[in-house]
Amino acid sequence: MTFNLRNMKPNDYASVRELWETIPGLRLEEADTEEAIHRYLARNRTLSFVALVDDNIIGSVLCGEDGRRGYLQHLCVSEKHQGKGIGKQLLKAAIEKFSLLELFEVRIFVLKNNKHGTNFWESQRWELREDIVVRTYKL
């Protein structure tokens, strides 16, 4: 199967959102509105990617950075296209971009009950951090 990767664009939002809504273990929040994602892409130009088959978005990854660390969010591939290396290629593209920025590390937050996501990150040899707790303050 042939697929292409390209940078995510603001006008991809509707298709990407539709994909996200089909992925078990991927939780959408207020920060995933169209306006919020447009701001995110504007702040992190050329860091986020989509995977396409015949011009249809079948995978995505949101990527951002703070000058020290890179952050991956919503790395996913449609269930129909999983197991074909697309997620690995999205991850590789993100890591290559982050490497150019000379960051110290890259992080991803995975929901505890997301077994599929946990298995993917373990298969990619990502270290599980048990020494930190994430807390959120809603504005």
Sequential pLDDT tens for the chain (139 residues):
799 999 999 999 999 999 999 999 999 999 999 999 999 999 999 999 999 999 999 999 999 999 999 999 999 999 999 999 999 999 999 999 999 999 999 999 999 999 999 999 999 999 999 999 989 998 8
| Residue 65, burial from CB neighbour count under 10 angstroms (0-12, 13-18, 19+) | middle
Answer whether 0.85 is exceeded by the pTM: yes
- Would residue 98 count as lying in a domain? yes
Q: State both tokens at 42.
A: 């504007």
Q: What is the CATH number of the domain that holds 58?
A: 3.40.630.30
**How many distinct structural domains can be found in the chain?**
1
Range of the domain at 19: 4-123
